[in-house]
Homo-oligomer: A and B are copies of this chain.
Amino acid sequence: MRNGTAAIIGGGVIGGGWAARFLLNGWNVKVFDPDPEARRKIGEVIGNARQSLPMLYERSLPEEGELVFVTSVAEAVADVDYVQESVPERLDLKRKVYAEVESAAPDVPLGSSTSGFKPSDLRKGLASGGRLFVAHPFNPVYLLPLVELVSGGGDANIQESASRVLMSIGMRPLVVRAEIDAHIADRFLEAVWREALWLVNDDIATTGEIDEAIRLGFGLRWAQMGLFETYRIAGGEGGMAHFVEQFGPALAWPWTKLMDVPELTSELVKKIADQSDAQSGGHSIRELEALRDRNLVAVLRALKREGSAAGRVIADHEANLGGEDLGRVPMITVRRMVPSDWTDYNGHMNESRYGQVFSDAADAVLAHVGAGPDYVLAGRSFFTVSTKTDYQLETHAGETVQVVTRVLLGEGKKLKLRHEMQRASDGSMLATCEQFLLHVSLETRKSCDPERPVEDAIKEIASAHGHGWES
Asked if A444 is at the interface (CB within 8 A of a chain B CB), the reply is no
Asked if A302 is at the interface (CB within 8 A of a chain B CB), the reply is yes
The smallest C-beta distance from A7 to any residue of chain B, in angstroms, reads 23
Which residues does chain B contribute within 8 Å of A449, judged by CB atoms? none
Asked if A203 is at the interface (CB within 8 A of a chain B CB), the reply is yes
> Looking at chain A's contact residues, is the secondary structure mostly helix, strand, loop, or mixed?
helix
B298 and A232 contacting across the interface, CB-CB below 8 Å: no
A391 and B385 contacting across the interface, CB-CB below 8 Å: yes
A176-B205, A184-B209, A264-B244 known; A144-B220 Cβ under 8 A: yes
B144 and A181 contacting across the interface, CB-CB below 8 Å: no
The smallest C-beta distance from A165 to any residue of chain B, in angstroms, reads 17
The 8 A CB mask of A184-224 against B (1 = contact, 0 = none) is 11011111111111010011110111111111111111111
Which of A189, A299, A373 has the most CB atoms of chain B within a 10 A radius of its CB? Answer: A299
Which residues does chain B contribute within 8 Å of A345, judged by CB atoms? 373, 376
Interface residue from B247, B313, B391 paired with A384 (Cβ < 8 Å): B391
Q: Give how many A residues have a beta carbon under 8 Å from the other chain's beta carbons.
A: 140
Can you tell how many copies of this chain the complex includes? 2
Asked if A156 is at the interface (CB within 8 A of a chain B CB), the reply is no
The 8 A CB mask of A214-243 against B (1 = contact, 0 = none) is 111111111111111110111111011100
A223-B220, A223-B299, A355-B354 known; A346-B13 Cβ under 8 A: no
A273 and B240 contacting across the interface, CB-CB below 8 Å: yes
Asked if A272 is at the interface (CB within 8 A of a chain B CB), the reply is yes
Asked if A328 is at the interface (CB within 8 A of a chain B CB), the reply is no
Which residues does chain B contribute within 8 Å of A217, judged by CB atoms? 138, 144, 146, 185
Extra 13 A-B pairs, beta carbons < 8 Å, given A191-B192, A216-B309, A225-B292: A146-B212, A176-B209, A187-B255, A188-B213, A194-B251, A196-B227, A207-B228, A219-B219, A240-B277, A241-B273, A259-B259, A345-B376, A355-B355
